[in-house]
Amino acid sequence: MLLCDSAMFPAGPAWPKVRVLQVLWALLAVLLASRMLWALKDFQECTWHVVLNEFHRVGEDGVEDRFFEQEPMDTVGKVFQTLVDSPIDPKEKYLGFPYYLKISYFCNEKLSQDLVRMGHLTGLKPLVLVTFQSPVNFYRWKIEQLQIQMEAAPFRSEVSEECVAEEVCSMSWYTPMPIKNGSVIMQVDISSNRLGTFIQDKCFQMNINGFLKRDEESRIVYTVGEELYDLLPEHFVGISSRPLWYTVNQAPVLILGGIPNEKYVLITDTSFKDHSFLELSIDSCWVGSVYCPHSDFTATIYDAIATESTLFIRQNQLVYYFTGTYTTLHESSRGSGSWVRVLASECIKKLCPVHFPANGSEYVMALTLGKNEGFLHLGTITDGQVSFEMLPKQWSVCQQIEVYTCNIIWSEYIVDEYTLLLLVESAYSSSSKLYHLVTYNRVTEETEIVYVVPEFVPEARGLEFLMILGTETYTKTPMVPKGISSNPYNNLIFIWGNFLLQSSNKEDFIYLADFPKEQTIKYVARSFLGNMVIVTETEEIWYLVEGTYQVYQLFPSRGWDVHISLQLMQQSSLYASNETMVTLFYEGNKLYQLVYLMYKYESRLVKRPVPVEKLLMYQQYTNHYDLERKGNYSMLSFTNFCPFSVMRLRNLPRPQRYTRQERYRARPPSILERSGFHTKNSLAIYQGLVYYLLWLHSRYDKPYADPVHDPTWRWWQNNKQDKVDRAVWELGQGWRPYAPPRAPTSGADSAPRIPYPRITSSSWRATGEARAACTLTWTVMKRSTTSSPSSSCRSAFFWTRALSTASRSSCRRKATRSVQRQNSITLKDKKLCYDQGISGHHLMKTSMMVNVVGSSGLCFQETHLESHMQGNLMVPVLIGCPPGKRLAFDITYTLEYSRQQNKHYFDCVHVDPEMPCFLFRDVFYPFFLIQDLVTGESGSFQGSYMLLVVGGGPTLESIRDYSNDEIYRFNSPQDKTNSLIWTTKTVRTTNDSAFHIMSHQSPGIEWLCLENSPCYDNIPRGIFSPEFFFKVLVSNRGVDTSTYCNYQLTFLLHIHGLPLSPKRALFIFMVSTSVIVGLVIFYIIFCLLLPFMVQGCTMLRWKINDLIASDSYYSYTSISGISSMSSLRHSRPGSIVSSRIEEDGAERREATEGQLMTLASHLPPPPATITPPLQGPS
C-alpha cells in the first residue's frame, strides 16, 4: 500500500512524532473510507426486508406479526375443492400454515415501491431457503437436516384511496412460512434469481416463541411477565456487561438479566434483532436459613440460561424455571402457568450452562453453598420436564480429594464423556489457596484430580506461550482462576482468570503470555468453530483463534479507533459517541455486540456486528508502517506479514455427502394473469401444497424399498405425465440425484466443502462412517518476491492437528501431509472410535484443524462485502451413523433371486402389489438395501445381521407382538420346546449361541412352524391353504463391525401355503373321505335302483289316475240323476242349490257332494226302467 504526497509530508524531520501519528491515522481513515465509497459506488447497498404476516393479513402494509402459532390451519380446503381438473388427491384433507413471509427490499436504508416494482418488471424473484433445525430429543423425532427452497410469489398490496394507478401502487413477494414437527428454529436464507437489482443475500433465524399467548382481548402477551416499553439509561449505563448463555443452535428464545435491583430481563426470539423488555412475574422472596450465608436482598436476575423450551433464572439464592408452550416439540401443552421454584432447600450461588445437548436431553448446573458445599446439582431437561440430581452421589468433592473445606468455583459438563469438569478452590494455609481441576465421571462415579493450577503466574520472558512443566520461573502475581471453558469439537480446554491456560488433554497446559496478568477475565464467548473472545472486568475485549497462541486486543485499540472514526464519518446508525456494551456473543461464526446507544435526545438498544478482521487489519496498518524519504517527498508504506496470498481447497465431493441436507424445491402455482401477480386463492394453494409435501416427507417410513426411494414417489407414481400437478404445482427436488439400485454404498461422508474465498468462516460438518477416508487437497500460492521491499516474504509452513475427544473406547485417527507443492491431508477412521448408533443419534464431536504458521491475525481477504481471515481452518467432524441412512427390505431382488433358486414363484391368490407373498415350502432368501435419503444412493447391505420373528398372526387384524420369552423360543437354535418358526444352515451365531447371525451370503431360511409355534395348526379360511403374517425384525447391532450405524428394520412378511398339523390333516382327510365315499355309494345305489323306482312310480301313477277317474265318473252320474229329478219335482230348491254352487265354487268338492247327497235322500226314488238286452246280428 503506497501513498505519496509532497505537500503533506515536507522534506526534513521537522514534525513531532505525535503529530505524525495523528496525521497518519487521519490519512489511513481517509484511505480506507475512499475504498469503501468506491465499493458502494459499484455495488449499491440493497438489502432484503422480511416480515411475518398471519394468513388472513396478506396484502396489508405496515403489518408485522409474532411467531407463536404452531398448529396447522384448515384455511385452504375450500380452495382445493374447486380444483376439479387438477391432478390432486381429492381424498386428502389439505391444511395450511399460520403464516406467510412477506418479502421486499430497500436500498440505502430506504424502502421505495418504485424500486420494488422495477425489480418485479425486470424479472427479480426472491428465493427463500428454510432450514429446519433438528430437535434435541431424537428419541421422539427423527434427526434430519431438512431444507425447502421456495420461489416467492408477487402479490399486489391492498389498494388505498391515494392509489390511482391502474395496475399496482404497492407490491411484495410472499412465500409460506413452513412449520415442521420437532423443529422450533428455522434458518431463513433470502437470495435472488440473479435478475434485476443486485441484492446481497440475507440470512436470519425465524424462531417460534412459546412464551407468548393471546389474552381475553386477543392481544399477544408474554406468559413469563409483563412487557415494558421504556428502556431507561439507568438500566444500562454504568452497568458491566454479562454473558449470554443458551444451548447452542437449539434455543429459540434468548434471555438476558443483570439489570440491577429490578426483576427485569431482555428476551428475544430473533437473536436480538429485536427484543422485549419484561418484568418477570416471580415472588421475589428470599428465604434465609441457618445454613445459607446471608447476603443483602436484591431483585436482580443474576444468571439466566435459555434451552430449547425452558428458561432458567437465579435471583439471590433461588432458582426458577419456566417451560414454554411448544406443541411442535411435546405433542401436548406442557407450558408452565407460572415460574416454578426448584431446589428450594438449597443455597445456589451460581448457575453454569451446558452448551450442547446429549442423549436427547439438555442440562444445566447449579453450584451450592452452605451445608451441601462441595456438591452440585445437575438439572436434566427432557421434553420440557425438569429434574435435578445432586452429584457426587455419595461423598462430596472435598472429601474425595481429601481436603477439609473446598469451594466449587465453576463446572463444565462434557456431555459426550458423561464427565463433569470442576474448578475447585481449597485453602492449605491461612493466606494461600490452591486450585484443582477435578473430573467426576457419572458412569463410574470416580473423582480424579487431573491438574493443579500453579500458585503464581509464570514468567514468559518475551515468549508468546510457555509450556507449563514445573521448571519455570514465576512472578509474584498469584494465579486466581475464575472459570473454565471447553469445546467438544477440538477438545480444547481453557482455564481463565487473570491468566489464560490452554490444554487439549486436561493434563498438559500452555500459558498464553499475550494476555496481561494485570487484567482479570470476566467471561468468554466461543463460536465453537475456532474463534473465541474474552471480556475482562474492565470491559476490554480480546480475541483468540483456537489452536494458536496469539491473543489480540480488540478494544480498546488503535484498530477500534480507526473503525469508529470511519463509522462516524459515514453516520452509521449502529454507533454513537456515548455507548455501553450489554453483552457479547457469537451467532454462527460471526461476533455480535449488544450495545446501548445514547444520543442527545434518545437512547436505544442495538445489535451490531464486531468486524474482527477489520479491527486486526487496521491495527496491523497502524502498528507496522514505514515512512521513507524519497528525494523531495516522503513515502508511506505498510508491511504485509501474511506468508501467502491465496489458499484454495480442491478435490471436494458433493456437499450433500457431508452436510447431510435434504432439500426440496417448490414453486408457486402457475397463473394466467398477464401482470404475473397472484391472488389470495393461489397463495392458499401454495400453502396447502407445501404443507402436503412436508407431510409426505414426514410419513415416509416404508420398510419395503420403493423403486425410487423418494417420499413423494407415491404422489406421482400413477400420474407420471403430470409429475405432481404440473399445471398447478411444480415440484423439483434439489440435491436428490437418482442412482441405479444396488449401487455400491458410499463410504465415509467426511470431506469438507469450504468454498473459496470464505475459508476460515465456513462451518461445514462432516459425518463419518466406519472405513472412512477423506483427502483434502489445498494449494497455497506464496507471495511474489518482486513486491515492495518492505513486504514480508516468507515460505508458508503448515501443521495439522487431528483432535479427538477422550471417549469410553480408544480412538485413533491418522492425519498425513504429503510432501508436495500441492499439500494433501488424509483423515482416516480406524473403526475404534465409537459404538453403533441409530442414524443421527449419539454422534461424537471432533474436528480437524489446519493452520498456516504465522498467519493467525495477519492474513485477510477483502471483498466488496466484508473481509475474511485466512490461514486457519477448523473442520468439525461428527463420527457415527450419518442422518438420512436407513435399512430397507429389497423386495425386488428378493423375488428375483428366490425365483432363480427355487425354479418357480407362486404368489397369493389375492395379489397385493405392496406386499408380495412367499410360499412356505420354498427357501426364503432375504436381501436388504442401505438407502441414503440425502444423496439418493442405494446399495446392497453387505454386513451381518440378526433376523427375528417378533410378532405375527393369521390376518393383518390379528397380528400381535411376542414377549421376550416367546421371541427366544420361536427364533433360537437352542430352543428345546419344539417352538421354532424357522431355521437356517448358517453356523454363525451370537456369543451365547442364542440367535443366528446372517448376511447376504447366507444359504437362506427354511420355514418350520413346529408344534408349539404360533403358525402351527393354522385353520384355513376358505378352500385355499392357510396363510400367516410374520412381523420380522432385522438388526445389525452388536454383530456387524463394518459400520457405525445401528440399522433396525421391522416389516411384515406374508407366507402362504402353510401345512396343516397331522391330527388336523388326518381329521380333514377322514371327513373328506367319508363325505366322498358316502356320495359315491349313494350314487351307485341311486343308479341301481333307478329302473325299479321308475317302474314303481309309473304303476303308482296309473293306479292313482284310475282311482281319480272312477271316482269322477260315479260323482258325475249321481249328480246328473239327482239334478233331473229335482228339476221335475222341485224346481225351486234345485235353482237354489244351483245358485249356491255357483256362488260357493271356491268351497271344497267334498263338502258340496255331501250336501247334494243329503238333499237327494229326501226325494222319492225314481221309477223302475226295463232295459232290453242288446241284440247282435243274426
Report the alpha-carbon distance of residue 1031 to residue 71 in Å, rounded. Answer: 35
Residue 286 has pLDDT above 60, yes or no: no
pLDDT band with cut points at 50, 70 and 90 for residue 671 = confident
Query: Which comes out higher in pLDDT, residue 626 or 270?
Result: 270
Bridge-based pairing of strands 917-919 and 1048-1056 is parallel
DSSP letter at 133? P
Tell me the DSSP string of 585-636. Answer: EEETTEEEEEEEEE-SS-EEEEEEE--HHHHHHHHHHHHSEEEEEETTEEEE
Q: What is the pLDDT of residues 712-762, one digit of tens each?
A: 655 555 554 444 333 233 333 333 322 222 222 223 233 332 222 222 233
Say if residues 744 and 856 touch (Cβ distance below 8 Å): no
Q: Which amino acid does the sequence have at 322? A: F
Q: What is the pLDDT of residues 536-590, one digit of tens each?
A: 999 999 999 998 899 999 999 999 999 999 998 888 889 998 999 999 999 988 9
Residue 154 has pLDDT above 80, yes or no: yes
Q: What is the pLDDT of residues 19-28, one digit of tens each?
A: 344 445 545 5
Question: What SS3 string covers 970-1030?
Answer: HHCCCCCCCCCCEEECCCCECCCCCCECECCCCCCEEECCCCCCCCCCCCCCCCCCCEEEE
**Grid cell for residue 939:** 446399495
**Grid cell for residue 284:** 421475589
pLDDT, position 775: 47
**Grid cell for residue 350:** 451460581
End-to-end CA distance of the chain: 175
Report the alpha-carbon distance of residue 298 to residue 280 in Å, rounded. Answer: 14
Report the alpha-carbon distance of residue 456 to residue 454 in Å, rounded. Answer: 6
Residue 479 CB coordination number (10 Å): 21
Cell 400413477 locates to 718
pLDDT, position 982: 94
Cα 160 to chain center, whole Å? 43
Q: What is the pLDDT of residues 93-141, one digit of tens each?
A: 888 999 999 999 988 777 778 888 888 888 899 999 999 999 999 888 8
DSSP letter at 444? T
pLDDT band with cut points at 50, 70 and 90 for residue 599 = confident
Angle between helices 1131-1143 and 1062-1129 (to 10 degrees): 160
Query: Which comes out higher in pLDDT, residue 351 or 94?
Result: 351
Tell me the DSSP string of 47-82. Answer: EEEEEEEEGGGTT-TT----S---S-B--SHHHHHT
Query: Which comes out higher in pLDDT, residue 294 or 687?
Result: 687
**Grid cell for residue 258:** 443483570
pLDDT, position 531: 93
Say if residues 376 and 411 touch (Cβ distance below 8 Å): yes
Tell me the DSSP string of 627-683. Answer: EEEETTEEEEEE----SEEEEEEES---THHHH-EEEEEEEPPP---TT--B-HHHH
With residue 328 as reference, give the H or E element that holds it: helix 327-330
Name the pTM for this structure. 0.80
Dihedral angle, C-alpha 11, 17, 18, 23, nearest 10 °: 30
Q: What is the pLDDT of residues 458-489, one digit of tens each?
A: 998 889 899 998 888 999 999 999 999 999 99
Residue 636 CB coordination number (10 Å): 20
Residue 8 has pLDDT above 50, yes or no: no
Q: Can you tell me whether residue 381 is helix, strand or coil?
A: strand
Residue 883 has pLDDT above 70, yes or no: yes
pLDDT, position 92: 79
Report the alpha-carbon distance of residue 555 to residue 534 in Å, rounded. Answer: 10
Cis peptide before 556 (omega within 30 of 0): yes
Say if residues 836 and 1046 touch (Cβ distance below 8 Å): yes
pLDDT, position 690: 92
Query: Which comes out higher in pLDDT, residue 911 or 291?
Result: 911
Q: Can you tell me whether residue 155 is helix, strand or coil?
A: strand
pLDDT band with cut points at 50, 70 and 90 for residue 1060 = confident
With a pLDDT cut of 70, the percent of the chain lying above it is: 78
Length of the chain: 1178
pLDDT band with cut points at 50, 70 and 90 for residue 364 = very high
pLDDT, position 822: 67
